[in-house]
Amino acid sequence: MQNSEIARAFDDLADLLEIDGANAFRLRAYRNASRMIADLPESMTAIVEDADRSPSELPGIGKDLAEKITTLVETGTLPQLDEMRDKIPPGVVEMLRLPGMGPKKAAILFHELSITTLEDLKQAAEQEQIRALKGFGKKTEESILEGLAHAQQSAGRVFLADAKIQADAIFESLSQLPSVQQIAAAGSLRRRRETVGDLDMLITADDSTEPMDALADHELVEKVLARGETKQRVRLRSGLEMDLRVVPAESYGAALQYFTGSKAHNIVVRRRAQERGLKINEYGVFRDEDAVAGQTEEEVYAAVDLPWIPPELREDRREFEWAENNALPTLIEIEDIRGDLHMHTTATDGTASIADMAAAAKKRKLKYIAITDHSKRVTMAQGLDAKRLRAHWKEIDKVNAETSGIEILKGIECDILEDATLDLPDDVLAEADWVIAVLHYGLKQPQDQIHKRLLTAIKNPHVSIIGHPTGRLIGKRPGAEMNMQEILKAAADHGVMMEINAHPSRLDLDDVAAAAAKDLGIPIVISTDAHATTGFDVLQYGIYQARRAGLEKKDVANTKTWGQFKKLLR
């Protein structure tokens, strides 16, 4: 069983228990466990199956949760979860997604009006049955109907890239207002998570009227959902929601730290404050009534005896351990990148020639690129067979000879076929400077077969790297089922590199897997997979993901010159 499935079971159980009125701290225990398991680089199933180990060795897993995990892994189901599902229909859980609808209200609607589906809910609201309930009223009823009307179109989390474009546009407008002193985007956008659920914008100003009015009138804003003295919530035309917070300048650092999150990270920071007799909120760090810090984030962290922690690391994973030991990584920057080793041309499904891609790369100060068109299995892209590939390579050599200032390498993105063979023969692969092996098809095969395929590629002496290792498309399809730790160990043993594919819908390896790869000393390559001259733009997103993984310049092989890089190849 995949870690994500175990995490999901605990999250679902927490939702159900919450509607059932369970103790809030019990829910937190389930949700903490869920998050910890989702972030775990090794397979929980492997831990359960190892006689010398137990899930209870992990933080936040006690006797009870360890038993539940074992049951889940061994039987595939969790009796407590099934019982709760029988007790509370799925439609009641769905109601939690409506804005303003939480577990308490959902439970009342279920128990008092026997509402079990969103359709029931709509009818009850239309028939004005809801306003009669205690704690509900006319406005609640109207907001339920509005929420239902919006439920279909609101997309949930969006790609970081899409969120950033909108946040940048609003940032640009608000930053020009006379009353705005400082402005920053916070939240998961600032932490560079691969998807963003909503936007957080922080402003320091003496008065919130002007920025709030300006936001309400912004062309991207559809509706103001709430507005108070310091906080305004709006819905953008895209469906994304955004919070604007306005605080005084002396609170800027505390507010930025607070609104950047993550929630789990902040809980640890505030607990550290408590231990030191301090209280941290968005206005500052306080000893009794006296503010002792708050103007900068550095001050806030210093108050709890920590150095400033880069936002990308603030997930309550390993950042506190690093910070305490003065061992925070110096995270990689986009300027560190010297080469791009994954891209396509008109030979397959790209839109630009070899020369055009090289020129575009040179413009971006890259010193070397590898042209890695598809192999023949990818028929949709008119993938290359041995003959066409050799002709393509000849062309690459020719363009390389005619081009100065950038090295153009002969590469191939070679499919790992469903039967665990490679799409091109060894003698062809042997002629390449750079071979990316990838899974494109048969991603739903059982784990055993996926492992067999990946190990075939890893053991092949001509394969340089595994490209987009899981094959996931964020929000669209899960990756192939695999024990990542096992695959990474094999890659480390055979000197095979691992890719972070920078495309915003892939970002594969993800942050957790990339951190695990680093721990094993595997050289990581951040690649754009560009299919056009503009395709290099996505590099930034690969860098963000690498930073979230705690990667430094030295961990990423394509920060080196090609001469140095070659020495890392087996």
Partner DNA sequence: GCCGTTTTCGGCCCGACTGTTTTCAGTCG
Q: Are 385 and 356 in contact (CB under 8 A)?
A: no
> What's the chain's length in residues?
570
Q: By CB under 7 A, what part of segment 156-215 binds DNA?
A: 187, 197-198, 200
Residue with tokens 């609808």: 101
By CB under 7 A, name the one of 135, 152, 153, 289 that touches DNA: 135
Q: CB of residue 165 vs DNA: minimum separation in angstroms?
A: 20
Beta carbon nearer to DNA, 208 or 400: 208
Q: Say how far apart CA 202 and CA 251 lie, in whole Å.
A: 11
Q: Which residue stretch of 135-143, 355-363, 369-377, 491-499 sits at the interface with DNA (rule: CB under 7 A)?
A: 135-143
Residue 91 CB-half CA count within 13 A:
12
Beta carbon nearer to DNA, 100 or 405: 100
Provide CB contacts within 8 A for 86, sequence distance 6+: none
Provide CB contacts within 8 A for 139, sequence distance 6+: none
The contact pattern for DNA, residues 76-115, with x = CB under 7 A and - = no contact, is: --------------------x-xxxxxxxxx---------
Q: By CB under 7 A, what part of segment 446-475 binds DNA?
A: none
By CB under 7 A, name the one of 20, 28, 176, 321 that touches DNA: 28
Q: CB of residue 65 vs DNA: minimum separation in angstroms?
A: 3
Beta carbon nearer to DNA, 3 or 460: 3
Distances, alpha carbon 394 to alpha carbons 389, 405, 432, in Å: 9, 20, 11
Beta carbon nearer to DNA, 32 or 528: 32
Q: Say how far apart CA 293 and CA 471 lie, in whole Å.
A: 46
- Token pair listed for 360: 């575009």
By CB under 7 A, name the one of 46, 113, 267, 355 that touches DNA: 267
DSSP conformation class of 450? H
Per CB under 7 A, 282 contacts DNA: yes
Residue with tokens 């831990």: 47
Tell whether omega for the bond before 509 is within 30 degrees of 0, i.e. cis.
yes
Beta carbon nearer to DNA, 105 or 377: 105
Residue with tokens 């595939």: 76
By CB under 7 A, name the one of 54, 116, 266, 296 that touches DNA: 266
Q: Which residue stretch of 1-9, 21-29, 538-546, 557-565 sits at the interface with DNA (rule: CB under 7 A)?
A: 21-29
Q: Say how far apart CA 261 and CA 244 lie, in whole Å.
A: 15
Q: Are 80 and 66 in contact (CB under 8 A)?
A: no
Helices (H), 115-241: 118-126, 138-151, 160-175, 187-190, 209-217
Per CB under 7 A, 316 contacts DNA: no
Beta carbon nearer to DNA, 29 or 522: 29
Q: Say how far apart CA 535 and CA 537 lie, in whole Å.
A: 5
Residue with tokens 């004005």: 128
Q: Say how far apart CA 471 and CA 442 lie, in whole Å.
A: 10
Beta carbon nearer to DNA, 142 or 217: 142
First to last CA, the chain: 34
- Specify the pairing of strand 221-227 against strand 231-236: antiparallel
The residue among 87, 53, 59 whose CA lies nearest residue 73 is: 53
Beta carbon nearer to DNA, 247 or 454: 247
Q: CB of residue 27 vs DNA: minimum separation in angstroms?
A: 8
Q: CB of residue 275 vs DNA: minimum separation in angstroms?
A: 7
Q: CB of residue 478 vs DNA: minimum separation in angstroms?
A: 24
Q: Is the C-alpha dihedral spanning 170, 175, 181, 185 positive or negative?
A: positive
Q: How many residues belong to the site for DNA (CB under 7 A)?
A: 60
The residue among 28, 546, 518 whose CA lies nearest residue 334 is: 546
By CB under 7 A, name the one of 12, 15, 120, 141 that touches DNA: 141
The residue among 425, 540, 553, 467 whose CA lies nearest residue 160 is: 540
Q: CB of residue 82 vs DNA: minimum separation in angstroms?
A: 15
Q: By CB under 7 A, what part of segment 36-65 binds DNA?
A: 56, 59-65
DSSP conformation class of 421? -
Beta carbon nearer to DNA, 23 or 564: 23
Q: By CB under 7 A, what part of segment 224-243 binds DNA?
A: 226-231, 241, 243
Q: CB of residue 11 vs DNA: minimum separation in angstroms?
A: 14
Beta carbon nearer to DNA, 154 or 456: 154
Q: Is the C-alpha dihedral spanning 338, 339, 345, 348 positive or negative?
A: negative
Q: Are 2 and 42 in contact (CB under 8 A)?
A: no
Q: CB of residue 504 vs DNA: minimum separation in angstroms?
A: 22
Beta carbon nearer to DNA, 39 or 418: 39
Beta carbon nearer to DNA, 140 or 382: 140
Q: Which residue stretch of 26-34, 366-374, 408-416, 509-517 sits at the interface with DNA (rule: CB under 7 A)?
A: 26-34
Q: CB of residue 228 vs DNA: minimum separation in angstroms?
A: 2
Beta carbon nearer to DNA, 90 or 228: 228
Residues that bind DNA (CB under 7 A): 23, 25-26, 28-30, 33, 56, 59-66, 96, 98-106, 131, 134-141, 143, 187, 197-198, 200, 226-231, 241, 243, 259, 263, 266-267, 270-271, 273-274, 279-282
